[in-house]
Amino acid sequence: MEVHQSDNESSSIFQNHSQQQQDQQLLVSSTTATAETTNNNESNSTEGCSNTADTATTNKNERYNTMLLETIYRDKLLQYQQKLRKEYDNLLNVQVDTMKIDYEKRIMTQIDELKLSTNKKMLEIVLLFKQTFENYQQQQEKKVDLDLKLVDKQQQEKEEEDEKLKLDDKEKIINELKIEIDKQNNQYNQQLQSIMEIIKDLTVQQQDTTIKYQSFQELLDQFPNDK
């Protein structure tokens, strides 16, 4: 509706401007014709020796009428100029208001999309953190179990010297498993550190978004409220 209103106002301004040009042309034509008539009358009055007081009075009245006509058209021209200026200012105000509304809607939409994306990413990170932590706990439990088994094996070594070789092999396997578990734990620790860095970056990004939104609100407050 605002766009159609702006188009109608623009059409009205151009029509008034066209009417103004026609009035100016009519004014120039009327003034020129009257001036030519006055000059011809004055020339005839100068050349002729038999001009009377009535002719002089007629010429004076024609000059007066010409001045009056010029004054009327000049006032009319000023009125059209004022009207044109007023309509132009109204159209400009409507366009500025429309731009402000569109800009505000676009910025708010972008902010909402950014908030939604941030919340979604935070949820994914929380779920990943939970899963990683659960895996870490499982690995710790496995490590404890292996440690207990290792202790049992060591005790069995003392009690069963005949099975020393077998126990050594088993201990080697357990140690290898422990090394592998330690590697996995290191990987999980690195993943946890990466997740914490991502959370930190997202927190900073959300703070920047809040600052930008506050700056945008301050910018909007600087516009005059013409509504």
Other CB atoms within 10 Å distance of the CB of residue 47: 8
- How far apart CA 138 and CA 179 sit, in angstroms, is 16
Residue 68: is its pLDDT beyond 70? yes
Q: Above pLDDT 90, what percent of the chain?
A: 0
227 is a domain residue? no
- Region of poorest pLDDT, from 19-23, 78-82, 107-111: 19-23
Average pLDDT over residues 78-102: 86
Q: Tens of pLDDT along 157-174?
A: 777 776 666 667 777 777
Sign of the alpha-carbon dihedral angle for 50, 52, 54, 59:
positive
pLDDT of the residue at 223: 65
Residue 219: is its pLDDT beyond 80? no
Average pLDDT score over the chain: 74
- How far apart CA 113 and CA 209 sit, in angstroms, is 11
Our separate counts of H helices and E strands in the chain read 3, 0
Residue 13: is its pLDDT beyond 60? no
- The confidence band for 93, taking pLDDT boundaries of 50, 70 and 90, is confident
**Are residues 185 and 92 part of one domain?**
no
- How far apart CA 141 and CA 139 sit, in angstroms, is 5
Cβ contact 77:20 at 8 Å: yes
**Are residues 159 and 217 part of one domain?**
yes
- The confidence band for 220, taking pLDDT boundaries of 50, 70 and 90, is confident
Residue 221: is its pLDDT beyond 70? yes
Side-chain-side CA neighbours of 157 within 13 Å: the count stands at 14
pLDDT of the residue at 216: 76
210 is a domain residue? yes
**Are residues 201 and 137 part of one domain?**
yes
**Are residues 150 and 135 part of one domain?**
yes
**Are residues 65 and 30 part of one domain?**
yes
Rounded to 5 degrees, what are φ and ψ at 55? Answer: -65, -40
Residue 124: is its pLDDT beyond 70? yes
**Are residues 98 and 80 part of one domain?**
yes
Average pLDDT over residues 197-204: 82
- How far apart CA 52 and CA 41 sit, in angstroms, is 12
Q: What one-character DSSP code corresponds to residue 163? A: G
**Are residues 108 and 7 part of one domain?**
yes
pLDDT of the residue at 10: 44
- How far apart CA 192 and CA 200 sit, in angstroms, is 12
- In 3D space, the residue among 160, 199, 151 whose CA is nearest the CA of residue 178 turns out to be 151
Residue 187: is its pLDDT beyond 50? yes
**Are residues 163 and 85 part of one domain?**
no
Residue 33: is its pLDDT beyond 60? no
pLDDT of the residue at 144: 83
- How far apart CA 181 and CA 143 sit, in angstroms, is 7
> What is the domain extent for residue 156?
114-222
**Are residues 120 and 104 part of one domain?**
no
pLDDT of the residue at 108: 87
pLDDT of the residue at 163: 67
**Are residues 108 and 6 part of one domain?**
yes
